[in-house]
Amino acid sequence: MPEVLSQSQIDALLSSLNKDGGSSPPQEEKPEKKYRKYDFSSPRKFTKDRLRMLNGIFDNYARIINTRINGLLHASCEVTVDSVEEQRYYEFSNALTEEAVVTLAYLNMENNDEEVPVIFYVTTPIMVSMMDRLLGGNGDMEDDFPSDYEYTNMDLRLYENLMRDFVSVMGSSWENYIPLSFDFGRVENNPTLVQLIGLDETVVLIDLQIEFPNCEGRMSICLPGSMLTSIFARIGAESTVRRASSEDSSEQIFNNLRSTSLEIVAELGRTTLQLSDIYSLNVGDVIDLNKKKDSAVYLRIGGQLWFDGLMGVNEKKIAVKVKDVYHNAGRKGS
């Protein structure tokens, strides 16, 4: 008979197998979570609530240009907000190459004298793909698309036409907060040689992801901090005015309602008669309502039951003394 292993021998055998790594699966290492460094010497200018507001505004903008692209290029496209981040302008500027092309747009708002531009940058492959579709192609991009691609004069004209359309609809995304519009400025094909915004100025960078079935890319919108400060100040001022106006209007509405006349109907009771009986009624006839003389009388306003009371006489006139009030009359049936 084969020898039967004892419990200690079994434990020793399992221990040796585990040491060799034959049966234990390798544990996957969790990726280390990355945190953005916070510079205490230059604190953030915009709160998280403001950034969330911008995220909602440009989510609306993404839907608008999504529709525009689909209609203009006759292609299925999806545009989404990838990130909304506050940073310094040099962080955005340093990421641009000499071959980069950017679009400048200017805020058109009452009492706004600033000439600091909004900067649009679209990655070259997705822009070339859109221009190819605009000319009747299918927008396919080769795998070896050159990273140092330079736009031709014809490319720049098509580029400008597309960006004019994107700039013209950006004001619509702010309609829920404030009426704004943006004017197209120019296309700059060498932004590294032009200082458009102070390098240390605070900006908010909006990244939009543009995806076609055969190509994808990114549109970045750089919003100057000084411009956003002016916009947020105007939104705050108009919100205060609207709130005060709303309060004034509500008081006026209540004053008008207080002086409004309403018809109150006192209902003694209800019964059903045949048309022949109604036709033969004469003065002095009695209609039996199957109710006692001291039964409650219902008072209705606008067809809804509001009060009930008792019949009586006041200064030799028939009157109803209110007994109960139905506070939820507008939502309660009789």
Residue 229: count of CB within 10 angstroms of its CB: 15
- How many angstroms separate the CA atoms of 66 and 59, rounded? 10
Q: How confident is the model at residue 334, as a pLDDT?
A: 41
Q: In this prediction, what percent of the chain has a pLDDT beyond 70?
A: 84
Least confident of 9-18, 139-148, 149-158, 191-200: 9-18
pLDDT digits (tens, 9 = 90+) for 180-197: 899 999 998 877 777 778
Least confident of 39-48, 133-142, 227-236: 39-48
- Residue ranges and CATH numbers for the domains of the chain are 48-141+148-245 (3.40.1550.10), 261-331 (2.30.330.10)
Across 269-301, b (16+ Cβ under 10 Å) vs e yields eeeeeeeeeeeeeeeeeeeeeeeeeeebbbbbe
In this predicted structure, the answer to whether residue 121 has a pLDDT above a threshold of 50 is yes
**Six-digit token string for 199:** 């390098």
pLDDT digits (tens, 9 = 90+) for 53-109: 999 999 999 999 999 998 888 888 899 999 999 999 888 888 888 888 999 999 987
Residue 150: count of CB within 10 angstroms of its CB: 11
Residue 4 confidence class, pLDDT cut points 50, 70, 90 = low
- How many angstroms separate the CA atoms of 184 and 119, rounded? 10
Q: Specify the 3-state DSSP secondary structure of 315.
A: coil
Q: In this prediction, what percent of the chain has a pLDDT beyond 90?
A: 27
- Provide mean pLDDT across the span 156-183: 91
248 or 91, which is more confident? 91
Q: Which helix (H) or strand (E) holds 86?
A: strand 78-88
Least confident of 37-46, 114-123, 132-141, 303-312: 37-46
Q: How confident is the model at residue 328, as a pLDDT?
A: 58
